[in-house]
Amino acid sequence: MPRKIALITGITGQDGAYLARLLLKKKYIVHGIIRKSSSFNTARIDEIYEDPFKKKKSLILHYGDMTDFSSINSIVSKVKPDEVYNLAAQSHVAVSFKNPEYTTDVNALGALRLLESIYQNNLKKTKFYQASTSELFGNPKYKIQNEKTPFYTKSPYGTSKLFAYWITKNYRESYNMFASNGILFNHESPLRGETFVTKKITKAITKIYKKKQDCLYIGNLNSKRDWGHAKDYVYFQWQILQQKKPMDVVVSTNKQYSVRQFIEECCKHIGWNIKWKGRGLNEVGYILEKRRKKIIIKVSKAYFRPNEVESLRGKSLLAKQKLKLKLKYSFKDIVKEMMDDDLKKIEYE
Ligand code: NAP
Ligand code: G4F
């Protein structure tokens, strides 16, 4: 049996790094697209990196950019992948308000460029996975979201992903392509980017614990998310492309916690009992140190968004049915793994 060939855009990101490991374990030949950067941007895949001069390689990296059709098209035509995982994105919601045009170019037109390249190269058997998102939902009327919940995006990021969702469906329906949307809810891990709220919190709390930082400035403490683990979720990205038919499917834990609860759980992990006082921008979180109040959390306006998805909680019935969705990591497991990892790393800083 010839080895399957996968192409991953965004291989240097959190999900790309876990997915590449999974596919290599499954004996795929994995091609990844990386961006030119003035400093190294491959830290998350250094462990699996292969010498480009090695004869039989399982991991091959190509320079390319989602904003540049010629680079995407030249890679797709050379690699002729069996499976394409489109994970590349300007994935930060708050940043998308500052860079709306660039976010749209990468996330919306990027998906279009990739689909069009598969189509133009006549790769009829290639399967396509689009990294869709729970940010497509935003209407507070729907407390629990599934595949039938109407979309209501609240940011340039969400709206760029809405285009990508629909263009994926358009290519599926127009050209009979195997093109699927995984509507994934938030997923975290020690590899999470440091400006996303979970990693920002675990990193800061371990620093405060080790007396390398005084206090953490945070935004909306009451925002609620359905947090899963990236390692669990990339398995279902792969599963989505192993189905007989393409589909659009929600992957979530069906549970929900607030940013405040995430902070409380991190504190609990190191034996701190955090308490809150004040309201709104004046709210603080404190611990007792030698019977004195030590403020470790302050709220800052700088981290509020012009518009917010206040509450996300997915119901993944379809995934349970079709993909046999079963998750290994609980909310507590995620916090524990991220905190332990940051506590270990801080020793080397
Ligand atoms: P991430 O860590 O931010 O990774 C994004 C990847 O995209 C990185 O490899 C990045 O490269 C690459 N990239 C950014 N702009 C690019 C461009 N112009 N051309 C080529 N590559 C570019 O994101 P993630 O958490 O792994 O998420 C993976 C995908 O799932 C994203 O599309 C995200 O929007 C979506 N998603 C994520 C979640 C979640 O909770 N994590 C939930 C739902 C959907 P650099 O390393 O060079 O920056
Ligand atoms: O960690 P976040 O930045 O993730 P967000 O906005 O939910 O987006 C992530 O999940 C999406 C799936 O739903 C992905 F599509 C997207 O690519 C990304 O991976 O923020 C989570 C919540 C928000 O409500 C935010 O307002 O935390 C709140 N928050 C409060 N203080 C903060 C902060 N977020 C960040 N990044 N930084 C803060 O200081």
Statement: residue 52 has pLDDT above 90: no
Question: By C-alpha distance, which of 317, 322, 146 is closest to 241?
Answer: 322
Statement: residue 57 has pLDDT above 90: yes
Q: Report the distance separating Cα 194 and Cα 38, nearest Å.
A: 19
Size of the chain in residues: 349
Statement: residue 257 has pLDDT above 90: yes
Q: Provide the pLDDT confidence category of residue 347 given band limits of 50, 70 and 90.
A: confident
- Domain boundaries along the sequence of the chain: 5-190+227-255+311-329
Mean pLDDT, the chain, rounded, equals 97
What's the average model confidence in pLDDT over 276-301?
A: 97
Distances (CA, A) of 254 to 139, 165, 186, 241: 17, 22, 11, 23
168 is catalytic: no
Query: Is residue 98 within a helix (H) or strand (E), and if so which, with residue range?
Result: helix 93-98
Q: Report the distance separating Cα 275 and Cα 297, nearest Å.
A: 10
Which residue has the CA at smallest separation from atom 33 of ligand 2?
219
Q: Which of 104, 133, 153, 206 is catalytic?
A: 133
Cβ-based burial of 319 (10 A; exposed 0-12, middle 13-18, buried ≥19) = buried
129 is catalytic: no
Per-residue pLDDT tens over the stretch 306-327: 999 999 999 999 999 999 999 9
- The pLDDT value recorded for residue 349 is 78
Question: By C-alpha distance, which of 40, 46, 2, 330 is closest to 188?
Answer: 330
Q: Report the distance separating Cα 247 and Cα 103, nearest Å.
A: 25
Report whether residue 197 contacts ligand 2, using a CB cutoff of 6 Å: yes
- The pLDDT value recorded for residue 173 is 98
Amino acid at 7: L
Per-residue pLDDT tens over the stretch 137-166: 999 899 999 999 999 999 999 999 999 999
Q: Which of 83, 135, 264, 265 is catalytic?
A: 135
Q: Across the strands, what pairs with 181? A: 130, 248
Which residues lie closer than 8 Å to 348 by C-beta, 6 or more apart? none
- The pLDDT value recorded for residue 183 is 98
Per-residue pLDDT tens over the stretch 186-197: 999 999 999 999
- The pLDDT value recorded for residue 129 is 99
Q: Across the strands, what pairs with 133? A: 184
* Residue among 92, 165, 186 whose CB has most ligand 2 atoms within 8 A, to mutate: 186
CA of 348 to the centre of ligand 1 (A): 27
* Superfamily classification of domain 5-190+227-255+311-329: NAD(P)-binding Rossmann-like Domain (3.40.50.720)
In a 3-state reduction of DSSP, which class is residue 86? strand
Q: Do strands 59-63 and 83-86 pair parallel, antiparallel, or not at all (unpaired)?
A: unpaired
* Residue among 18, 41, 91 whose CB has most ligand 1 atoms within 8 A, to mutate: 91
**DSSP conformation class of 222:** T
119 is catalytic: no
CB 118 within 8 A of CB 84: yes
b/e map of 24-55 (b: 16 or more CB within 10 Å)? beeebbbbbbbbeeeeeeeebbeebeeeeeee
CB 227 within 8 A of CB 312: no
Q: Provide the pLDDT confidence category of residue 348 given band limits of 50, 70 and 90.
A: confident
- The pLDDT value recorded for residue 21 is 98
- The pLDDT value recorded for residue 1 is 85
Which residues lie closer than 8 Å to 113 by C-beta, 6 or more apart? 66, 69, 72, 73
Q: Do strands 178-184 and 248-251 pair parallel, antiparallel, or not at all (unpaired)?
A: parallel
